[in-house]
Each structure stands twice: as C-alpha cells, then as structure tokens.
C-alpha cells in the first residue's frame, strides 16, 4: 500500500513538471510571435508557480490541502456576532424606501406586514430629525408608495400646506380650514355611528364626547388644566337641554343656552355658567369665530387614498386658535375612521406641538397613550414627526408623570427613525433611544436623507431614502424638511 502511495505521489509531481514545461514552451512561442509582429523583443514573464506555492523559505503559503472548517449559523446569530456586516433577518415586503447602507440590500417597509411577521408589536412610528435632515421627505415618499399598495393616509394638521400637492398626486383630497374658508368642521360633531353601538350606547358616547370637547375648548382658551366643579355640571346640563331640541349640536347653540337658559335647571345654569359664557364667546363672536361654530361641511371619504387638512390659513392666528384647530381636526379624523377596519396611516406634523395641545386641553398624555394601544386593534399607524428628543422635555419636568408618559408614548412606537441630530442632542437621544457608541457615531455622521431605523427589539437598518426627480418636485417645498 505504501509503495503504491509513493508511486502515486511521483506520478502527480511528474505531471505537474510536464504541465510546467508545456506552459513555458507555449509562452516562448507567444513571445516569438509577438517579437515578429512588433519588430522588437517581447518581454513576457515566464514565472509559473505550483498550486501550493514555490518551495522557498518564508513563502507565506500553505499547502492547498489545509482548509478551515465550515461554520454554519443563522443570519440572526451572525448578525449579532458581526454587527453591521450581516443582516439580522429576511428582507420585508412593502413600499420601497432605499438601500440599506449596512447590508447593501434593498429596504422596503409596510408596518402592517411587519406586525403580521411579528417583527414589531405596534404599527406606529416616530421620525426624529432636525430641519433639513429629510424626515418629511421620508414621510411623503413612504405615504405615497403605501397608497399604491392600497393603504390609506390621513394628515390631520398640515401647517404649511405642503401636503396638498402630495394628496393631489395620488388622487386624494385636501380640506382647507381657517377664516374665510368655505370648509367647516363642527367642533362637537361626533362623526358616524358605529354599527356595534345600541341607541343607548350611542347616546352615552355622544354625550361624553361633546362634554369632553367643551371642557377641552374652555381649558385651551383659559390656558388652564382645571375647571371648577360647578362648570362641569353646567356643561352637562346645557348639553342635555340643547340635545333635547337639536339633532346636531353646535357651539353656537350651547352659547345661546348659556345666555338664555330654559327648563328646570335654568337658574343653576344662569348662576354658575357666567364664566363659560365669556370663554365660549371667543368661539362664536371673538378671535376664534367662523371656524368651529357651524355644521361640518365636508364628509370624510374612507376610500380616498389620502386626506389632508390644510391649516396654513391660521398660521398667524392666536395660539389658542391653532390649538383648537389641532384638536378639532384630530378628533374629526379619529371619529370618522373609528368604525373602519382599513389600514390607515395618520401622519402628525409637528407632533410635539400637538402633544402640548392635548396637555393644555387637560387630557394629558394618558388618553393619547390609551388611544395608541387601541390603534393596534384598529389597524391605525400613527407617525409622529419630531424635531428632537428635547422637544418632549417641554411636556413636563424630567422625572414628572407627564414626562414619563411622553417617553412611554415614544417607547410605544416600535419603529424609530433617527435622522441628523444637533451635536449637542446626541447624548440625550442616545440615552432615550438606547444607542450604543457605534450607533451614536453612525448618527453623528449621517448626511441628508439617511436615517437609522430601529425596528422592534433587535433589528437595525441604516437606510438612504431614494426619491425620483418627479417625486422630489412634488414633495419639495423649497428645501428638504
């Protein structure tokens, strides 16, 4: 056996020498032909090595028979062992966003598909970035592409009117609100009745909604979060009186009842409702008149791809008027779509300001957090556009209940996209969003249109949002937001 083995080894060596000689001869022939063609000596190398390298000291080459063992592991395991070099899971379906600068693959997104795949538990997301970083461009490109996948989009508050062209482009509709506009939203409009509610259930729901909205309006106009107990009672009594005579309740009717009460509780309303008279007068006669004191003139079409509310006409109105507008438009969309099971994305521009409005109305963030949990069952995806994490600090002192609720709301958004941050904000953002040193460094060097996606509990993506020239012309408002 050993003799045969040695013979086989000699035969292999002889064959390699023969091959080497034939290659050398062939190279010489090629050199000769080249010399005849060009008229000068050809300088072609005649160096050929063996398959495992030359037999020289320190040649730094090992025999070909030495190979490392193969290691097999799942993409999730490799992604943890080699972060930023290996993808942590399969690619997701949805609207195309752009290339992943970490995995070099193409990235698509649909929050409902991601939830069905159990990548996330909540469809809502937060997009954080300074002005000019590209967060609005991401929101618009994502929204329009999801429209083409039969998702529905709503923008309840568009302070700059920049979503109007976007809605027209996808066949949607824009409603303009403000002084002089022909469109009206009744501040007390309860919206369509859900089919699951009985007559008594609907009556109770409408009364609670209208009572809460009147209380919120008074708190916003007074810039307070507390009403006297007597005024709570007066609001309930006035609503009962008005609803006994009118099918659709308007603030004008409530004001008239306060000024000239009728029925068995007239004396109580007249005595304890003086403060409410003066406060609600601003809505029907004062600086907020003409926006919320008439019947709703527009219907919410559930089948429209995109519905936006242009509130740019009140840009120079009082802070109270703008706060009432945000409250009215958010409620209008929420109540109009509450009975629908369509997948709908609601994009909140200037989300931190909107949250301040809710706090000013006295509801705090508890109701918003509760609505966020209900949204999971209603197939609603709230998208909050925030300039910086520090904006949430304005909602309450650090460590306070309000501040904790604000951070809890952000935590409920299991998809968080971080665009460029101010250098002084990086440490704060890292602490709230759970960045390690590598992620912090990554965000600090991001260019316009590139965002760090934190998806669910473990998935990380570094996405450059790609828009076509046509999309850029539609989305741009003189500068990327």
Any domain includes 144? yes
Do residue 33 and residue 99 come from a single domain?
no
Q: What is the mean pLDDT of each run of 10 residues along the chain (481 residues)?
A: 44 57 71 71 50 53 59 68 56 88 89 91 90 92 94 92 94 88 86 87 92 89 86 94 91 93 89 93 82 82 92 83 85 82 88 61 55 67 86 63 67 88 87 88 92 90 94 75 45
Bridge partners of 347? Answer: 383
In this prediction, residue 180 carries a pLDDT of: 77
Any domain includes 61? yes
Specify whether the CB–CB gap between 258 and 238 falls below 8 A.
yes
> Of 345, 360, 425, which is closest to residue 386 (Cα–Cα)?
425
**CB-based burial label for 64 (10 Å; 0-12, 13-18, 19+):** exposed
Do residue 209 and residue 116 come from a single domain?
no
Any domain includes 394? yes
Any domain includes 118? yes
Do residue 52 and residue 119 come from a single domain?
no
Any domain includes 417? yes
Specify whether the CB–CB gap between 185 and 177 falls below 8 A.
yes
Do residue 434 and residue 375 come from a single domain?
yes
> Of 364, 305, 292, which is closest to residue 332 (Cα–Cα)?
292
Do residue 461 and residue 357 come from a single domain?
yes
Any domain includes 52? yes
Q: What is the CATH number of the domain that holds 113?
A: 3.40.50.300
Determine phi and psi for 151, rounding to 5 degrees. -90, 155
Any domain includes 365? yes
Q: Quote the CA–CA distance of 239 and 295 in Å, as a whole number.
A: 16
Q: How long, in residues, is the chain?
A: 481
Number of domains in the chain: 3
In this prediction, residue 479 carries a pLDDT of: 42
Do residue 222 and residue 116 come from a single domain?
no
Any domain includes 211? yes
Which structural domain, as residue segments, surrounds residue 4?
Answer: 1-67
Stated pTM of the model: 0.75
């Amino acid at each position: 056996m050993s003799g045969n083995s040695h013979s086989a080894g000699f035969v292999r060596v002889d064959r390699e020498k023969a091959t080497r000689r034939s290659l050398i001869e062939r190279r010489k022939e090629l050199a000769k032909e080249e010399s005849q063609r060009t008229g000068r000596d050809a300088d072609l190398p005649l160096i050929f090595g063996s398959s495992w390298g030359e037999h020289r000291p320190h040649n730094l080459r090992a025999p070909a028979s030495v190979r490392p063992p193969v290691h097999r592991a799942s993409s999730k395991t490799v992604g943890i062992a080699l972060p930023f070099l290996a993808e942590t899971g399969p690619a997701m379906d949805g609207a195309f966003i752009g290339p992943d600068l970490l995995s070099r693959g193409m990235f698509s997104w649909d929050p409902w598909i991601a939830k069905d795949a159990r990548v996330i538990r909540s469809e809502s997301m937060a997009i954080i970035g300074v002005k000019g970083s590209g967060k609005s461009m991401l929101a618009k490109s994502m929204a329009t592409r999801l429209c083409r996948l039969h998702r529905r989009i709503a923008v309840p508050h568009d302070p700059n009117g920049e979503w109007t062209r976007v809605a027209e482009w996808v066949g949607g509709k824009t409603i303009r609100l403000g002084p002089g506009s022909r469109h009206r939203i009744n501040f007390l409009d309860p919206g369509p009745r859900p089919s699951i509610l009985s007559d008594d259930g609907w009556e109770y729901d409408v009364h609670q909604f209208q009572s809460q909205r009147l209380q919120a309006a008074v708190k916003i106009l007074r810039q307070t979060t507390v009403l006297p107990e007597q005024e709570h009672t007066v609001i309930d009594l006035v609503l009962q009186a008005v609803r006994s005579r009118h099918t659709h309740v308007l603030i004008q009717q409530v004001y008239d009842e306060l000024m000239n009460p009728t029925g068995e509780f007239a004396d109580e309303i007249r005595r304890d409702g003086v403060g409410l008279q003066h406060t609600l007068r601003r809505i029907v006669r004062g600086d907020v008149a003409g926006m919320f004191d008439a019947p709703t003139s527009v219907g919410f079409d559930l089948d429209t791809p995109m519905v936006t509310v242009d509130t740019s006409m009140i840009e120079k109105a009082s802070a109270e008027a703008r706060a009432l507008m945000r409250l009215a438009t958010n409620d209008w969309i929420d109540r109009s779509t509450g009975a629908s099971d369509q997948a709908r994305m609601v994009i909140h521009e200037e989300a931190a300001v909107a949250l301040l409005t809710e706090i000013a109305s006295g509801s705090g963030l508890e109701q918003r957090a509760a609505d966020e949990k209900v949204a999971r069952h209603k197939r609603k995806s709230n998208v909050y556009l925030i300039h910086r994490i520090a904006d949430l600090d304005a909602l309450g002192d650090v460590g306070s209940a309000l501040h904790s609720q604000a951070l809890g709301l952000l935590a409920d958004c299991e998809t968080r996209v971080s665009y460029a941050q101010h250098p002084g904000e990086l440490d704060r953002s890292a602490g709230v969003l759970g960045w390690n040193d590598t992620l912090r460094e990554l965000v600090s060097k991001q260019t316009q249109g590139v965002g760090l996606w934190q998806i669910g509990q473990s998935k990380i993506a570094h996405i450059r949002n790609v828009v076509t020239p046509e999309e850029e012309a539609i989305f741009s408002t003189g500068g990327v937001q």
